[in-house]
Amino acid sequence: MALPPATDWSPLRISLETSVTATIITLAAGLAAAWWRERRHGTAMAFVDGICLLPLVLPPTVVGFFLLLLFGRHGLLGKLLLQLGTTVVFSWPATVIAAAVVSFPLMYLTARAALEQVDSRFLEAGRTLGASEWRVFAKIALPLAWPGVLAGTILSFARALGEFGATLMLAGNIPGRTATIPIAIYFAVESDDMRSAVAWCAADVAISLALLAGLYYWTQAQGLSREVRR
């Protein structure tokens, strides 16, 4: 097992790249699923909700194991990818897949709650004015649900940043390629490199604080501009 030297910044880069990419995927997929789900009723929808929320309630290692089965050599998607001459297991995309799957339920839940809060008469008004479903979503539902969607995005990003179990199962610990900060911390502690562990923990705290501070100032600014418009 190669030990990352303290001056190796790759876990920070990998963590940020992975989290940002996973959050973008989660945002798009979570919004699409929430918008699709929001306009439907029935008992079949409980099943859809169950599937969407499963990664939230399952231990990340279980999620990682399922992903490994799915993307492995004999897995449904793994075989498909193999035919295309590629594989994702133990590669950077695997860190993104693991982070996206694990953070998806948070996005789905908050986006649904935010869309549910939008008065359906606004959407109906848009439809009578000739707007397509896409336009109703983009110009009415999303702007009105925006604060909730943003909160979901930040939650998802934080969850993606902290992802460990599923990432380790699917992507492993390949320094410079799949070793994210949490994985670097784990293996640093494992090999008694306390200096690296503390450094990466400090980095994680700094990122989280920056995120929260950004969110705080953003909501303040929002409140302020709303006051001005009032």
Residues at the interface with another protein (CB under 8 A): 119, 121-122, 124-132, 135, 139-140, 143-144, 229-230
Nearer to another protein, 144 or 155 (CB): 144
The structure tokens listed for 46 are 């409980």
- What CA–CA distance (Å, rounded) separates 147 from 190? 41
Alpha-carbon Rg for the chain in angstroms? 20
**Tokens at residue 118, please?**
């939008």
Minimum CB separation from another protein for residue 122, in Å? 6
Nearer to another protein, 126 or 165 (CB): 126
Shortest spacing between CB 146 and another protein, in angstroms: 9
The nearest distance, CB 94 to another protein, in angstroms, is 40
In the complex with another protein, which residue's Cβ is closer, 47 or 122? Answer: 122
Q: How far is CA 165 from CA 58, 106, 133, 137, in A?
A: 11, 17, 39, 35
We find the least distance from the C-beta atom of residue 196 to another protein, in angstroms, to be: 48
Based on CB atoms, which residue is closest to another protein, 134 or 195? Answer: 134
CB-nearer residue toward another protein: 68 or 140: 140
Nearer to another protein, 69 or 138 (CB): 138
**Residue 227 beta carbon to another protein: minimum distance, rounded to whole angstroms:** 12
Q: CB 125 → another protein: shortest distance, Å? A: 4
